[in-house]
Structure 1
Protein backbone atom coordinates (compact mmCIF):
# COMPACT_ATOMS: atom_id res chain seq x y z
CA UNK A 1 0.00 0.00 0.00
CA UNK A 2 1.50 3.35 -1.05
CA UNK A 3 2.13 6.05 1.51
CA UNK A 4 0.06 9.23 1.66
CA UNK A 5 1.33 12.79 1.49
CA UNK A 6 -0.35 16.00 2.69
CA UNK A 7 -1.30 17.07 -0.84
CA UNK A 8 -3.21 13.79 -1.25
CA UNK A 9 -4.91 14.13 2.14
CA UNK A 10 -5.85 17.70 1.19
CA UNK A 11 -7.86 16.40 -1.76
CA UNK A 12 -9.91 13.97 0.37
CA UNK A 13 -13.11 14.52 2.29
CA UNK A 14 -13.17 13.63 5.96
CA UNK A 15 -14.56 10.12 5.51
CA UNK A 16 -12.02 9.16 2.86
CA UNK A 17 -9.10 10.66 4.79
CA UNK A 18 -10.07 8.79 7.94
CA UNK A 19 -10.39 5.52 6.04
CA UNK A 20 -7.13 5.88 4.11
CA UNK A 21 -5.07 6.96 7.12
CA UNK A 22 -6.42 4.18 9.33
CA UNK A 23 -5.63 1.62 6.64
CA UNK A 24 -1.95 2.53 6.94
CA UNK A 25 -1.57 2.62 10.73
CA UNK A 26 1.17 0.45 12.17
CA UNK A 27 2.42 0.50 15.76
CA UNK A 28 5.37 -1.38 17.22
CA UNK A 29 6.80 -1.33 20.73
CA UNK A 30 10.34 0.03 20.97
CA UNK A 31 10.85 -0.08 24.75
CA UNK A 32 8.88 -0.28 27.98
CA UNK A 33 7.41 3.17 27.38
CA UNK A 34 8.06 4.07 23.72
CA UNK A 35 6.20 2.94 20.61
CA UNK A 36 6.76 3.80 16.96
CA UNK A 37 3.59 4.57 15.00
CA UNK A 38 2.90 5.43 11.38
CA UNK A 39 0.65 8.48 11.36
CA UNK A 40 -1.08 10.43 8.59
CA UNK A 41 -0.50 7.53 6.23
CA UNK A 42 3.23 8.27 5.95
CA UNK A 43 5.56 9.64 8.67
CA UNK A 44 6.75 7.57 11.61
CA UNK A 45 6.27 9.07 15.06
CA UNK A 46 7.61 8.02 18.45
CA UNK A 47 5.02 8.12 21.24
CA UNK A 48 4.89 7.41 24.95
CA UNK A 49 2.63 4.60 26.12
CA UNK A 50 1.99 6.57 29.31
CA UNK A 51 0.27 9.38 27.37
CA UNK A 52 -3.42 8.53 27.67
CA UNK A 53 -5.05 11.61 26.12
CA UNK A 54 -3.26 11.71 22.77
CA UNK A 55 -0.94 8.80 22.06
CA UNK A 56 -3.41 5.99 22.70
CA UNK A 57 -5.78 7.43 20.09
CA UNK A 58 -3.07 8.02 17.49
CA UNK A 59 -1.62 4.52 17.94
CA UNK A 60 -4.94 3.07 16.77
CA UNK A 61 -6.31 5.74 14.41
CA UNK A 62 -3.20 7.26 12.87
CA UNK A 63 -4.71 10.74 13.07
CA UNK A 64 -5.69 13.41 15.58
CA UNK A 65 -8.27 16.20 15.26
CA UNK A 66 -8.98 15.27 11.67
CA UNK A 67 -10.79 18.56 10.98
CA UNK A 68 -7.61 20.53 11.76
CA UNK A 69 -5.47 17.95 9.97
CA UNK A 70 -7.49 18.38 6.76
CA UNK A 71 -7.51 22.15 7.06
CA UNK A 72 -3.74 22.41 7.51
CA UNK A 73 -3.04 19.94 4.70
CA UNK A 74 -5.10 22.18 2.41
CA UNK A 75 -3.63 25.50 3.52
CA UNK A 76 0.10 24.72 3.86
CA UNK A 77 2.00 24.24 0.62
CA UNK A 78 5.59 23.59 -0.52
CA UNK A 79 8.09 26.34 0.22
CA UNK A 80 6.13 27.93 3.06
CA UNK A 81 7.56 28.75 6.49
CA UNK A 82 5.49 27.56 9.45
CA UNK A 83 5.60 27.61 13.25
CA UNK A 84 3.97 24.93 15.43
CA UNK A 85 3.48 26.45 18.89
CA UNK A 86 2.70 23.63 21.31
CA UNK A 87 4.13 20.82 19.21
CA UNK A 88 3.74 18.04 21.80
CA UNK A 89 4.96 14.77 20.19
CA UNK A 90 5.03 16.48 16.79
CA UNK A 91 1.93 15.27 14.96
CA UNK A 92 1.34 18.67 13.35
CA UNK A 93 5.06 19.38 13.06
CA UNK A 94 5.44 16.26 10.91
CA UNK A 95 2.39 17.24 8.85
CA UNK A 96 3.81 20.73 8.34
CA UNK A 97 7.26 19.37 7.55
CA UNK A 98 5.94 17.12 4.80
CA UNK A 99 3.62 19.85 3.49
CA UNK A 100 6.30 22.54 3.11
CA UNK A 101 8.97 20.12 1.87
CA UNK A 102 12.70 20.72 1.71
CA UNK A 103 12.18 24.17 0.16
CA UNK A 104 10.30 25.34 3.25
CA UNK A 105 11.03 25.66 6.96
CA UNK A 106 9.19 24.59 10.12
CA UNK A 107 9.79 25.56 13.74
CA UNK A 108 8.44 22.95 16.18
CA UNK A 109 8.19 24.51 19.65
CA UNK A 110 7.85 22.17 22.63
CA UNK A 111 8.91 23.15 26.18
CA UNK A 112 8.51 19.77 27.92
CA UNK A 113 12.07 18.33 27.97
CA UNK A 114 11.05 14.68 27.83
CA UNK A 115 8.49 15.20 25.05
CA UNK A 116 10.92 17.39 23.12
CA UNK A 117 13.50 14.60 23.24
CA UNK A 118 10.98 12.14 21.76
CA UNK A 119 9.94 14.69 19.12
CA UNK A 120 13.57 15.21 18.10
CA UNK A 121 13.85 11.48 17.42
CA UNK A 122 10.79 11.60 15.16
CA UNK A 123 12.12 14.57 13.19
CA UNK A 124 15.45 12.82 12.65
CA UNK A 125 13.88 9.46 11.79
CA UNK A 126 11.82 11.04 9.02
CA UNK A 127 14.79 12.97 7.64
CA UNK A 128 13.06 16.34 8.03
CA UNK A 129 16.21 18.44 8.31
CA UNK A 130 14.21 21.59 7.52
CA UNK A 131 12.19 21.16 10.74
CA UNK A 132 13.95 22.83 13.69
CA UNK A 133 13.02 21.99 17.27
CA UNK A 134 12.88 24.80 19.84
CA UNK A 135 12.91 23.37 23.39
CA UNK A 136 11.37 26.47 24.91
CA UNK A 137 8.08 27.91 26.10
CA UNK A 138 6.62 30.64 23.92
CA UNK A 139 5.54 33.81 25.68
CA UNK A 140 5.63 37.59 25.63
CA UNK A 141 9.32 37.98 26.49
CA UNK A 142 12.42 36.26 25.16
CA UNK A 143 14.87 34.48 27.49
CA UNK A 144 12.81 34.34 30.68
CA UNK A 145 12.65 31.24 32.88
CA UNK A 146 9.08 29.92 33.18
CA UNK A 147 7.59 27.26 35.44
CA UNK A 148 5.43 24.63 33.73
CA UNK A 149 3.18 21.83 34.96
CA UNK A 150 2.40 18.58 33.15
CA UNK A 151 -0.62 16.67 34.50
CA UNK A 152 0.04 12.96 35.01
CA UNK A 153 -0.31 11.02 31.72
CA UNK A 154 -1.42 14.18 29.86
CA UNK A 155 1.62 15.99 28.39
CA UNK A 156 -0.57 17.71 25.80
CA UNK A 157 -2.07 19.72 28.68
CA UNK A 158 1.26 21.11 29.90
CA UNK A 159 0.81 24.76 30.90
CA UNK A 160 2.67 27.73 32.39
CA UNK A 161 1.99 27.99 36.14
CA UNK A 162 3.17 30.09 39.13
CA UNK A 163 6.62 29.25 40.49
CA UNK A 164 5.22 27.64 43.67
CA UNK A 165 2.90 25.21 41.83
CA UNK A 166 2.57 21.84 43.66
CA UNK A 167 3.78 18.68 41.91
CA UNK A 168 1.34 16.23 43.58
CA UNK A 169 -0.66 15.53 40.40
CA UNK A 170 2.10 15.64 37.81
CA UNK A 171 5.51 17.06 36.95
CA UNK A 172 6.74 20.63 37.49
CA UNK A 173 9.74 21.90 35.55
CA UNK A 174 11.39 25.17 34.54
CA UNK A 175 12.28 26.10 30.98
CA UNK A 176 13.58 29.13 29.07
CA UNK A 177 11.14 31.20 27.05
CA UNK A 178 11.18 32.64 23.56
CA UNK A 179 8.78 34.64 21.42
CA UNK A 180 7.16 34.08 18.06
CA UNK A 181 8.91 37.26 16.92
CA UNK A 182 12.32 35.73 17.72
CA UNK A 183 11.47 32.44 15.99
CA UNK A 184 10.02 34.16 12.91
CA UNK A 185 13.14 36.28 12.55
CA UNK A 186 15.32 33.18 12.80
CA UNK A 187 13.26 31.50 10.06
CA UNK A 188 13.52 34.62 7.91
CA UNK A 189 9.75 35.07 7.93
CA UNK A 190 6.65 32.98 8.52
CA UNK A 191 3.54 32.18 6.46
CA UNK A 192 1.49 29.98 8.81
CA UNK A 193 1.29 29.59 12.60
CA UNK A 194 -0.61 27.04 14.67
CA UNK A 195 -1.06 28.00 18.34
CA UNK A 196 -2.28 25.44 20.88
CA UNK A 197 -0.89 26.52 24.22
CA UNK A 198 -3.35 25.70 27.02
CA UNK A 199 -4.09 29.23 28.15
CA UNK A 200 -0.83 30.97 27.24
CA UNK A 201 -2.35 32.48 24.08
CA UNK A 202 -2.42 36.08 25.31
CA UNK A 203 1.26 36.07 26.26
CA UNK A 204 2.15 34.36 22.99
CA UNK A 205 0.29 36.92 20.89
CA UNK A 206 1.85 39.75 22.91
CA UNK A 207 5.20 38.32 21.84
CA UNK A 208 4.35 38.32 18.13
CA UNK A 209 3.40 41.94 17.47
CA UNK A 210 6.22 42.40 14.97
CA UNK A 211 5.32 39.13 13.25
CA UNK A 212 1.69 40.17 12.85
CA UNK A 213 2.61 43.62 11.57
CA UNK A 214 5.55 42.71 9.34
CA UNK A 215 5.07 39.10 8.16
CA UNK A 216 1.24 38.84 8.41
CA UNK A 217 1.13 35.02 8.68
CA UNK A 218 -2.13 33.11 8.56
CA UNK A 219 -2.89 31.88 12.09
CA UNK A 220 -4.85 28.99 13.56
CA UNK A 221 -5.51 29.64 17.24
CA UNK A 222 -7.19 27.53 19.89
CA UNK A 223 -9.49 30.08 21.54
CA UNK A 224 -11.34 29.68 24.82
CA UNK A 225 -13.08 32.81 26.07
CA UNK A 226 -13.27 31.47 29.64
CA UNK A 227 -9.48 31.72 29.89
CA UNK A 228 -9.34 35.45 29.18
CA UNK A 229 -10.31 38.43 31.34
CA UNK A 230 -11.01 40.46 28.18
CA UNK A 231 -11.80 38.14 25.25
CA UNK A 232 -12.98 41.05 23.07
CA UNK A 233 -9.69 42.82 23.66
CA UNK A 234 -7.79 39.66 22.80
CA UNK A 235 -9.58 39.33 19.45
CA UNK A 236 -8.84 42.98 18.71
CA UNK A 237 -5.13 42.12 18.51
CA UNK A 238 -5.92 40.59 15.10
CA UNK A 239 -7.67 43.68 13.70
CA UNK A 240 -5.31 43.77 10.70
CA UNK A 241 -6.74 40.46 9.45
CA UNK A 242 -9.93 39.47 7.68
CA UNK A 243 -12.90 38.67 9.91
CA UNK A 244 -12.07 35.51 11.90
CA UNK A 245 -13.57 32.23 10.79
CA UNK A 246 -14.04 28.88 12.50
CA UNK A 247 -12.96 25.44 11.31
CA UNK A 248 -15.82 22.96 11.16
CA UNK A 249 -15.98 19.17 11.58
CA UNK A 250 -15.00 18.63 7.94
CA UNK A 251 -12.01 20.96 7.98
CA UNK A 252 -13.82 23.72 6.12
CA UNK A 253 -13.95 27.40 7.05
CA UNK A 254 -17.27 28.81 8.22
CA UNK A 255 -18.31 32.36 9.02
CA UNK A 256 -18.58 33.16 12.70
CA UNK A 257 -19.14 36.45 14.48
CA UNK A 258 -16.88 37.64 17.27
CA UNK A 259 -19.93 37.45 19.55
CA UNK A 260 -20.37 33.75 18.74
CA UNK A 261 -16.65 33.07 19.14
CA UNK A 262 -16.89 34.40 22.67
CA UNK A 263 -20.39 33.40 23.81
CA UNK A 264 -21.44 30.22 21.96
CA UNK A 265 -20.41 27.09 23.91
CA UNK A 266 -18.69 29.34 26.42
CA UNK A 267 -15.76 27.58 28.08
CA UNK A 268 -15.19 25.22 25.16
CA UNK A 269 -12.10 25.34 22.94
CA UNK A 270 -12.67 26.69 19.43
CA UNK A 271 -10.32 26.69 16.45
CA UNK A 272 -10.29 30.19 15.00
CA UNK A 273 -8.55 31.11 11.76
CA UNK A 274 -7.13 34.54 11.04
CA UNK A 275 -6.28 35.07 7.38
CA UNK A 276 -4.32 37.98 5.96
CA UNK A 277 -5.90 40.26 3.35
Structure 2
Protein backbone atom coordinates (compact mmCIF):
# COMPACT_ATOMS: atom_id res chain seq x y z
CA UNK A 1 0.00 0.00 0.00
CA UNK A 2 1.35 3.43 -0.96
CA UNK A 3 1.78 6.27 1.51
CA UNK A 4 -0.90 8.19 -0.40
CA UNK A 5 -3.46 5.42 0.13
CA UNK A 6 -2.61 5.36 3.84
CA UNK A 7 -2.81 9.13 4.36
CA UNK A 8 -5.83 9.85 2.16
CA UNK A 9 -8.52 8.23 4.37
CA UNK A 10 -6.94 9.79 7.48
CA UNK A 11 -7.07 13.23 5.87
CA UNK A 12 -10.65 12.75 4.68
CA UNK A 13 -11.82 11.59 8.10
CA UNK A 14 -10.11 14.54 9.80
CA UNK A 15 -11.68 17.05 7.40
CA UNK A 16 -15.17 15.63 7.98
CA UNK A 17 -14.64 15.78 11.76
CA UNK A 18 -13.58 19.44 11.63
CA UNK A 19 -16.26 20.52 9.15
CA UNK A 20 -18.41 23.37 10.44
CA UNK A 21 -15.88 24.66 12.97
CA UNK A 22 -14.85 27.62 10.81
CA UNK A 23 -11.15 26.84 10.66
CA UNK A 24 -11.25 27.05 6.87
CA UNK A 25 -11.68 30.82 7.17
CA UNK A 26 -8.02 31.04 8.18
CA UNK A 27 -6.05 31.73 5.00
CA UNK A 28 -3.03 29.66 6.04
CA UNK A 29 -5.22 26.71 7.01
CA UNK A 30 -7.06 27.00 3.71
CA UNK A 31 -3.80 26.93 1.77
CA UNK A 32 -2.62 23.81 3.59
CA UNK A 33 -6.01 22.16 3.12
CA UNK A 34 -6.02 22.81 -0.63
CA UNK A 35 -2.47 21.47 -0.96
CA UNK A 36 -3.24 18.26 0.94
CA UNK A 37 -6.55 17.78 -0.86
CA UNK A 38 -4.95 18.01 -4.30
CA UNK A 39 -1.94 15.91 -3.26
CA UNK A 40 -3.88 13.07 -1.64
CA UNK A 41 -6.87 12.78 -3.96
CA UNK A 42 -7.31 9.80 -6.25
CA UNK A 43 -7.55 10.20 -10.02
CA UNK A 44 -11.22 9.25 -9.91
CA UNK A 45 -13.97 8.39 -7.44
CA UNK A 46 -17.10 6.24 -7.58
CA UNK A 47 -20.24 8.30 -7.00
CA UNK A 48 -23.85 7.24 -7.45
CA UNK A 49 -22.91 4.34 -9.75
CA UNK A 50 -20.71 6.69 -11.80
CA UNK A 51 -16.98 6.89 -12.29
CA UNK A 52 -15.90 10.52 -11.95
CA UNK A 53 -12.45 11.73 -12.92
CA UNK A 54 -11.48 14.72 -10.78
CA UNK A 55 -9.84 18.04 -11.52
CA UNK A 56 -6.41 18.68 -10.00
CA UNK A 57 -7.77 20.64 -7.04
CA UNK A 58 -10.81 18.41 -6.53
CA UNK A 59 -12.77 21.66 -6.40
CA UNK A 60 -16.04 19.93 -5.45
CA UNK A 61 -14.33 17.94 -2.65
CA UNK A 62 -15.70 14.72 -4.11
CA UNK A 63 -12.73 12.68 -2.90
CA UNK A 64 -13.66 13.68 0.66
CA UNK A 65 -17.46 13.73 0.69
CA UNK A 66 -18.38 11.42 -2.21
CA UNK A 67 -21.25 13.78 -2.94
CA UNK A 68 -21.74 17.45 -3.78
CA UNK A 69 -24.66 19.56 -2.59
CA UNK A 70 -26.50 16.56 -1.13
CA UNK A 71 -29.80 18.35 -0.58
CA UNK A 72 -29.80 19.76 -4.12
CA UNK A 73 -28.77 16.37 -5.49
CA UNK A 74 -31.74 14.72 -3.79
CA UNK A 75 -34.00 17.50 -5.07
CA UNK A 76 -33.13 17.09 -8.76
CA UNK A 77 -33.67 13.34 -8.42
CA UNK A 78 -37.25 14.14 -7.41
CA UNK A 79 -37.84 16.76 -10.11
CA UNK A 80 -36.39 15.08 -13.22
CA UNK A 81 -38.12 12.12 -14.91
CA UNK A 82 -37.42 9.59 -17.63
CA UNK A 83 -37.70 11.19 -21.05
CA UNK A 84 -37.09 14.76 -19.84
CA UNK A 85 -34.90 17.28 -21.63
CA UNK A 86 -32.41 18.95 -19.28
CA UNK A 87 -29.91 21.77 -19.83
CA UNK A 88 -26.80 22.00 -17.64
CA UNK A 89 -25.31 25.50 -17.88
CA UNK A 90 -21.90 25.65 -16.25
CA UNK A 91 -21.48 21.88 -16.28
CA UNK A 92 -17.93 21.95 -14.86
CA UNK A 93 -16.60 18.35 -14.87
CA UNK A 94 -20.05 16.77 -15.05
CA UNK A 95 -21.27 16.00 -11.52
CA UNK A 96 -24.84 17.06 -12.27
CA UNK A 97 -24.59 16.13 -15.96
CA UNK A 98 -24.05 12.48 -15.05
CA UNK A 99 -26.99 12.51 -12.65
CA UNK A 100 -29.21 14.11 -15.27
CA UNK A 101 -28.15 11.58 -17.92
CA UNK A 102 -29.09 8.71 -15.64
CA UNK A 103 -32.42 10.26 -14.64
CA UNK A 104 -33.68 11.07 -18.16
CA UNK A 105 -32.69 7.68 -19.58
CA UNK A 106 -32.40 6.70 -23.23
CA UNK A 107 -35.53 8.60 -24.27
CA UNK A 108 -34.37 11.84 -22.66
CA UNK A 109 -31.68 14.32 -23.59
CA UNK A 110 -29.12 16.38 -21.69
CA UNK A 111 -27.34 19.44 -23.10
CA UNK A 112 -24.21 20.38 -21.13
CA UNK A 113 -22.41 23.70 -21.66
CA UNK A 114 -18.90 24.24 -20.25
CA UNK A 115 -16.55 26.83 -21.79
CA UNK A 116 -13.30 26.06 -19.95
CA UNK A 117 -11.13 23.67 -22.03
CA UNK A 118 -9.69 21.77 -19.05
CA UNK A 119 -13.05 21.30 -17.38
CA UNK A 120 -14.59 20.37 -20.72
CA UNK A 121 -12.10 17.57 -21.36
CA UNK A 122 -12.87 16.09 -17.94
CA UNK A 123 -16.58 16.51 -18.64
CA UNK A 124 -16.19 14.61 -21.89
CA UNK A 125 -14.05 11.95 -20.21
CA UNK A 126 -16.66 11.43 -17.48
CA UNK A 127 -19.53 11.11 -19.94
CA UNK A 128 -17.59 8.64 -22.09
CA UNK A 129 -16.35 6.64 -19.07
CA UNK A 130 -19.96 6.02 -18.05
CA UNK A 131 -21.17 5.18 -21.54
CA UNK A 132 -23.90 7.81 -21.90
CA UNK A 133 -25.17 8.46 -25.43
CA UNK A 134 -27.95 10.86 -24.44
CA UNK A 135 -25.70 13.84 -23.65
CA UNK A 136 -24.72 16.60 -26.07
CA UNK A 137 -21.60 18.46 -24.96
CA UNK A 138 -20.82 22.03 -25.98
CA UNK A 139 -17.53 23.77 -25.15
CA UNK A 140 -19.21 27.16 -25.09
CA UNK A 141 -20.52 29.76 -22.69
CA UNK A 142 -24.13 30.89 -22.85
CA UNK A 143 -24.62 34.64 -22.94
CA UNK A 144 -26.87 37.42 -24.27
CA UNK A 145 -24.60 37.93 -27.28
CA UNK A 146 -22.57 35.71 -29.56
CA UNK A 147 -18.82 35.89 -30.16
CA UNK A 148 -15.74 35.77 -27.98
CA UNK A 149 -15.97 36.53 -24.26
CA UNK A 150 -13.37 36.62 -21.50
CA UNK A 151 -13.48 33.74 -19.03
CA UNK A 152 -11.73 34.62 -15.76
CA UNK A 153 -10.05 31.56 -14.25
CA UNK A 154 -9.95 30.81 -10.54
CA UNK A 155 -6.62 29.40 -9.38
CA UNK A 156 -8.14 27.76 -6.29
CA UNK A 157 -11.39 26.39 -7.66
CA UNK A 158 -12.13 25.24 -11.19
CA UNK A 159 -15.84 25.55 -10.37
CA UNK A 160 -15.24 29.28 -9.83
CA UNK A 161 -14.42 30.25 -13.41
CA UNK A 162 -16.73 32.96 -14.68
CA UNK A 163 -17.36 35.36 -17.54
CA UNK A 164 -15.37 38.49 -16.78
CA UNK A 165 -16.93 41.93 -16.67
CA UNK A 166 -15.00 44.97 -17.87
CA UNK A 167 -14.44 46.17 -14.31
CA UNK A 168 -12.79 42.93 -13.18
CA UNK A 169 -9.07 42.15 -13.28
CA UNK A 170 -8.86 39.41 -15.87
CA UNK A 171 -5.10 38.80 -16.08
CA UNK A 172 -5.65 35.09 -15.46
CA UNK A 173 -8.17 34.59 -18.23
CA UNK A 174 -8.84 33.05 -21.63
CA UNK A 175 -11.07 33.83 -24.58
CA UNK A 176 -13.97 31.43 -25.14
CA UNK A 177 -16.88 31.14 -27.54
CA UNK A 178 -20.27 32.40 -26.37
CA UNK A 179 -23.64 31.62 -27.90
CA UNK A 180 -27.26 32.61 -27.26
CA UNK A 181 -29.52 29.84 -25.96
CA UNK A 182 -32.47 31.05 -28.03
CA UNK A 183 -30.43 30.70 -31.21
CA UNK A 184 -29.01 27.32 -30.25
CA UNK A 185 -32.42 25.82 -29.47
CA UNK A 186 -34.32 27.70 -32.20
CA UNK A 187 -35.18 24.56 -34.17
CA UNK A 188 -35.35 22.19 -31.20
CA UNK A 189 -38.87 20.76 -31.26
CA UNK A 190 -39.09 19.06 -27.86
CA UNK A 191 -40.16 20.75 -24.65
CA UNK A 192 -37.40 21.63 -22.21
CA UNK A 193 -38.22 20.43 -18.71
CA UNK A 194 -35.35 21.47 -16.45
CA UNK A 195 -32.42 23.90 -16.44
CA UNK A 196 -29.57 23.90 -13.94
CA UNK A 197 -27.47 27.07 -14.03
CA UNK A 198 -24.33 27.83 -12.03
CA UNK A 199 -22.35 30.60 -13.73
CA UNK A 200 -20.86 32.53 -10.81
CA UNK A 201 -22.91 35.71 -10.95
CA UNK A 202 -23.55 35.88 -14.71
CA UNK A 203 -27.03 34.35 -14.48
CA UNK A 204 -28.88 37.45 -15.66
CA UNK A 205 -26.59 37.66 -18.71
CA UNK A 206 -27.44 34.07 -19.62
CA UNK A 207 -31.15 34.67 -19.01
CA UNK A 208 -30.97 37.62 -21.39
CA UNK A 209 -30.33 35.15 -24.20
CA UNK A 210 -33.08 32.73 -23.14
CA UNK A 211 -36.20 34.88 -23.54
CA UNK A 212 -37.92 32.69 -26.13
CA UNK A 213 -36.97 29.46 -24.37
CA UNK A 214 -38.41 30.70 -21.10
CA UNK A 215 -41.62 31.86 -22.79
CA UNK A 216 -42.16 28.72 -24.87
CA UNK A 217 -41.73 26.13 -22.11
CA UNK A 218 -44.71 26.56 -19.82
CA UNK A 219 -43.74 23.82 -17.36
CA UNK A 220 -40.04 24.65 -17.16
CA UNK A 221 -38.26 24.37 -13.83
CA UNK A 222 -34.83 25.78 -13.07
CA UNK A 223 -32.28 25.37 -10.31
CA UNK A 224 -30.13 28.50 -10.28
CA UNK A 225 -27.56 29.97 -7.95
CA UNK A 226 -28.15 33.24 -6.12
CA UNK A 227 -24.77 34.65 -5.05
CA UNK A 228 -25.05 38.40 -4.40
CA UNK A 229 -21.28 38.92 -4.03
CA UNK A 230 -20.57 37.21 -7.36
CA UNK A 231 -23.33 39.22 -9.04
CA UNK A 232 -21.94 42.51 -7.71
CA UNK A 233 -18.43 41.52 -8.84
CA UNK A 234 -19.88 41.30 -12.33
CA UNK A 235 -21.09 44.89 -11.99
CA UNK A 236 -24.69 43.68 -11.85
CA UNK A 237 -27.51 44.12 -9.36
CA UNK A 238 -28.75 41.12 -7.31
CA UNK A 239 -32.30 42.49 -7.07
CA UNK A 240 -32.48 43.00 -10.84
CA UNK A 241 -31.51 39.36 -11.37
CA UNK A 242 -34.27 38.14 -9.05
CA UNK A 243 -36.80 40.49 -10.64
CA UNK A 244 -35.82 39.12 -14.06
CA UNK A 245 -36.82 35.65 -12.88
CA UNK A 246 -40.19 37.00 -11.72
CA UNK A 247 -40.78 38.84 -15.01
CA UNK A 248 -40.16 35.61 -16.89
CA UNK A 249 -43.02 33.97 -15.01
CA UNK A 250 -41.21 32.09 -12.27
CA UNK A 251 -42.04 31.72 -8.61
CA UNK A 252 -38.96 31.20 -6.45
CA UNK A 253 -38.19 28.74 -3.68
CA UNK A 254 -35.13 28.98 -1.46
CA UNK A 255 -33.24 25.68 -1.28
CA UNK A 256 -32.04 25.91 2.32
CA UNK A 257 -29.48 23.11 2.42
CA UNK A 258 -28.36 23.94 5.98
CA UNK A 259 -31.82 23.31 7.40
CA UNK A 260 -32.74 20.86 4.64
CA UNK A 261 -35.97 22.56 3.62
CA UNK A 262 -37.42 24.40 0.64
CA UNK A 263 -39.46 27.53 1.28
CA UNK A 264 -41.37 29.92 -0.96
CA UNK A 265 -39.58 33.24 -1.16
CA UNK A 266 -39.54 36.60 -2.92
CA UNK A 267 -37.09 39.28 -3.97
CA UNK A 268 -37.03 41.27 -0.74
CA UNK A 269 -36.77 38.19 1.48
CA UNK A 270 -33.72 36.97 -0.45
CA UNK A 271 -32.11 40.41 -0.40
CA UNK A 272 -32.55 40.61 3.39
CA UNK A 273 -31.39 37.05 4.09
CA UNK A 274 -28.28 36.74 1.93
CA UNK A 275 -25.42 39.23 2.03
CA UNK A 276 -22.07 37.43 2.02
CA UNK A 277 -23.60 33.96 1.58
CA UNK A 278 -25.19 32.25 -1.40
CA UNK A 279 -28.04 29.84 -1.95
CA UNK A 280 -29.66 27.88 -4.75
CA UNK A 281 -33.18 28.61 -5.93
CA UNK A 282 -35.78 26.31 -7.41
CA UNK A 283 -37.72 28.36 -9.93
CA UNK A 284 -41.06 27.06 -11.16
CA UNK A 285 -43.30 28.57 -13.83
CA UNK A 286 -46.28 30.05 -12.02
TM over 0.5: yes
Specify which of 48, 52, 59 is matched with residue 53 of structure 1: 59
Q: Which residue of 1 aligns with 2:5?
A: none
CA shift in 2, pair 1:86/1:237, >3 Å: same
| Number of matched pairs | 238
Does residue 1:253 correspond to 2:262, yes or no?
yes
**Which 5+ residue runs of structure 2 have no aligned equivalent?**
1-39
Specify which of 187, 190, 193 is matched with residue 192 of structure 2: 190
Map of 1:31-110 to 2, 5 A cutoff?
35-39=43-47, 41-48=48-55, 50-54=56-60, 57-110=61-114
Specify which of 222, 226, 247 is matched with residue 225 of structure 2: 222
Q: Which residue of 1 aligns with 2:210?
A: 208
- TM (normalized to structure 1)? 0.79
**Equivalent-residue separation in structure 1 for 2:228 and 2:272 (angstroms):** 8
Is the contact made by 1:261 and 1:270 (CA closer than 8 Å) also made in structure 2?
Answer: no
Is the contact made by 2:224 and 2:282 (CA closer than 8 Å) also made in structure 1?
Answer: yes
| Cα shift at 1:98 | 0.5
CA shift in 2, pair 1:251/1:86, >3 Å: farther
Q: Which residue of 1 aligns with 2:271?
A: 262
Does residue 1:150 correspond to 2:156, yes or no?
no
**Aligned-residue CA RMSD in angstroms?**
2.3
Q: Which residue of 1 aligns with 2:174?
A: 173
Does residue 1:130 correspond to 2:134, yes or no?
yes
CA shift in 2, pair 1:260/1:177, >3 Å: same
**Equivalent-residue separation in structure 1 for 2:278 and 2:114 (angstroms):** 20
Measured against aligned partners, the alpha-carbon deviations of 1:83-121 in whole angstroms (never above 9, x if no partner) come to 111111100000111011110000111100011011101
Measured against aligned partners, the alpha-carbon deviations of 1:36-76 in whole angstroms (never above 9, x if no partner) come to 2111x21111112x22432xx20232210111101111101
| Cα shift at 1:33 | 9.3
CA shift in 2, pair 1:67/1:139, >3 Å: same
**Equivalent-residue separation in structure 2 for 1:260 and 1:62 (angstroms):** 33
**Equivalent-residue separation in structure 1 for 2:155 and 2:251 (angstroms):** 38
- TM (normalized to structure 2)? 0.76
**Local SS of the residue matching 1:174:** strand
**Local SS of the residue matching 2:285:** coil
**Equivalent-residue separation in structure 2 for 1:224 and 1:33 (angstroms):** 28
Q: Which residue of 1 aligns with 2:240?
A: 233
**Equivalent-residue separation in structure 2 for 1:45 and 1:186 (angstroms):** 33
**Local SS of the residue matching 1:243:** strand
Q: Which residue of 2 aligns with 1:14?
A: none
Task: Kindly name which structure, 1 or 2, has the bigger radius of gyration based on alpha carbons.
Answer: 2
**Equivalent-residue separation in structure 2 for 1:59 and 1:68 (angstroms):** 19
**Equivalent-residue separation in structure 2 for 1:172 and 1:191 (angstroms):** 33
Is the contact made by 1:66 and 1:251 (CA closer than 8 Å) also made in structure 2?
Answer: no
Is the contact made by 1:111 and 1:137 (CA closer than 8 Å) also made in structure 2?
Answer: yes
Q: Which residue of 2 aligns with 1:161?
A: 164
Q: Which residue of 1 aligns with 2:251?
A: 243
| Cα shift at 1:141 | 1.4
**Local SS of the residue matching 1:102:** coil
Q: Point out the structure with the larger helix share.
A: 2
